[in-house]
Structure 1
């Protein structure tokens, strides 16, 4: 093993013998496991790669390609039939929901148990308990038996425990796909932090966007063999070429957006009442002094139907009710869209759109309407809404936040046809022309025509 590698896999193979019956298996044992009476099933063969300290390496491939078997070999759960694996460092593996948990114990008690099983001193779990509880964010369930947990709660607890045990190598197998959008955003942010600390990460997923975003390299498995090891973008391209996986269907056609028509404007008082009644605000996500308060926010289709899902390339309307609690000299209002990796996909304010609001006095009210066309790839997105004072600030794109609500939604963007209107992260409006120059016919061609 080289000094810079923490995992080295050389000529790795795993064979599972398949016997026709229990009697054939026993007879094979009695013969000293000599050939005969079974079939060889090589799940993996000829696997070679190495992983350096602090790298994040994705393991991708369709179902049955050997991904989970490879991880079990690396963690020592299985032993190779041929080849070798060398691991330098403490490995924690989040392979299956609830693995290692005692379902009769509470989440808190399982934190103590996990720390003890992994050889930590008795006081370690106590010192990190508050951090683990805060990150898991499962409320009162932290002190309830694990057998009462949903699959999402299992993941939250397990990932939180492993994250704060600061492993040298962390292995995650599809677990993050179970959590909701907001937990996924928190996890991907945490993954970037543990990578920065030098933790090596093996990430197994069918989520090609996640592989592209967080991995430094990727290993593509196909039929038990590694067909590509290298840059994530190139590995994903080879994956799609080999599998040609169709896009999943979205919600029913009834959920698709009706032809765009401007929403009917109600009288201001009635409009504000409706916004408050149908508000999507979550007070727990609020930041700022509240000088220009967002008192309510409604999300609906052009037809006025409240919705948190939209067909790709169709619009949603965001109606914001505002109230000033102090004099605002240069008020501004904005909206932002974040993907599940917590990356800003799009942000805009009234100032960006060229609209300057008049100064507002204490007690003044306002309604602001944003109509966003979600020309982005299918998936879940969160919304942030904010008001700001632009007067006296150097950054005209941000200003000084007065009221900000993060992680609203999530908004589900779906697509229900085999062919996407575009591919990639977002639809950049494209104009095109096709020219087919006329070619003069040769004498021979003219004769053929006649």
Structure 2
């Protein structure tokens, strides 16, 4: 049985006005406090059940790394308590405490013992550790000559050599190359299927949404929101636009289907209507694989706008983006708009997607992204289904028209 329980946890550090103030506080007979407390985390509570995967996201400085240090026991909470049940493997920092003058093999033995393995176990597991890390002869070279990616490869291989009851992964994996990230997440998914409890801190939207059951958004040391990964990542995306300094509002509404829709922006322009038109010229929520469609988006202008960019994203049922573009990248800019004007955008493309449920998010902004000036970002602006009406059977999220030529000798 493995689980993580965090109850009313807070973390504060002492701040002194000068170095001498610290010494005076220690030796003063009056015990007068000369420091102030700087709270990094406040009133954090959540549980991760056996076999569950929880994602933690937040902007830099939100308190994510501090929270993981409290959970793994490398730091003590100022208030509250943390309880873990089960064998824990954690990757919090690049290198996981490697000694730069020792070889990778020597560091593997030291790190493995810190994780609770015996020397004999590490010796038995070493061939597998070497094979997974794929650093070749560097395993017997000092770690100081390793690249950051090589350190991540070895650290992850050691931490996951034996399936842990609880696996905690910070942003360290983002340093590795794309191949090793894919390989690492495949192992994480395998562990999840076998019952490992997972705590993942990442800015990788795809990783959070594809692996995690729930997500927590940290903001200024507190839990801002908790819910399903797509809902939380949409809210986080809107928060990034809010940080740009424009008067952005964020709200979440429940759709008729029960999904949570995130809408953000300053309201200078808004989507008035959106529809998907099939090749027969009819508005439809059911589109055939490969059918050529028109995505029609009508926009109302509410305040003077110097430059308007209209973008859209097609997302799968997990909220992962399968395609996206905007009028800026397509070299179709609309300029100098006045209140009361209406602008219609017609995007035409073949629906080369696999069968399934998809949604469309819309974005109104200037320049290339909504981070600059967010007029309106609307997730779940449209939901539609792709069905296979006339194509041969295939698998996957996309349809690639394929020809086959086969020859053989008798």
TM class, shorter-length: 0.5 to 0.7
Alignment of 1:3-22 (within 5 A): 6-22=3-19
Alignment partner of 1:61 out of 58, 61, 70: 58
Q: 2: CA distance between counterparts of 1:34 and 1:198? A: 51
Alignment partner of 2:122 out of 119, 125, 128: 125
8 Å contact from structure 2 (residues 213, 228) kept in 1: yes
8 Å contact from structure 1 (residues 18, 39) kept in 2: yes
Q: Displacement, 1:64?
A: 0.5
Q: 2: CA distance between counterparts of 1:32 and 1:9? A: 37
Distance of aligned partners of 1:344 and 1:172 in 2 relative to their CA distance in 1, 3 Å threshold:
farther
Greater share of residues in strand? 2
8 Å contact from structure 1 (residues 5, 53) kept in 2: yes
1:350 paired with 2:374, answer no
Corresponding residue SS for 1:348: coil
Match in the other structure for 2:36: 39
Q: Displacement, 1:228?
A: 1.4
Alignment partner of 2:100 out of 93, 99, 103: 103
8 Å contact from structure 1 (residues 151, 178) kept in 2: yes
TM-score (norm 1): 0.55
Q: Displacement, 1:100?
A: 2.2
Distance of aligned partners of 1:203 and 1:227 in 2 relative to their CA distance in 1, 3 Å threshold:
same
Match in the other structure for 1:172: 169
Alignment of 1:244-393 (within 5 A): 244=241, 346=398, 348=400, 350-351=402-403, 357=405, 360=407
Equivalent pairs counted in the alignment come to: 266
Q: Displacement, 1:241?
A: 2.4
Corresponding residue SS for 1:45: strand
Q: 2: CA distance between counterparts of 1:347 and 1:107? A: 44
Match in the other structure for 1:261: none
8 Å contact from structure 1 (residues 106, 142) kept in 2: yes
Q: 2: CA distance between counterparts of 1:84 and 1:348? A: 53
Alignment of 1:123-202 (within 5 A): 123-202=120-199
Corresponding residue SS for 2:203: coil
Q: Displacement, 1:95?
A: 0.9
Q: Displacement, 1:360?
A: 4.4
Q: Displacement, 1:118?
A: 2.8
Q: 1: CA distance between counterparts of 2:31 and 2:65? A: 28
Distance of aligned partners of 1:59 and 1:185 in 2 relative to their CA distance in 1, 3 Å threshold:
same
Distance of aligned partners of 1:34 and 1:70 in 2 relative to their CA distance in 1, 3 Å threshold:
farther
Alignment of 1:399-418 (within 5 A): none
- Post-superposition Cα deviations, 1:273-299, rounded to whole Å, max 9, x if no partner, equal xxxxxxxxxxxxxxxxxxxxxxxxxxx
8 Å contact from structure 2 (residues 51, 195) kept in 1: yes
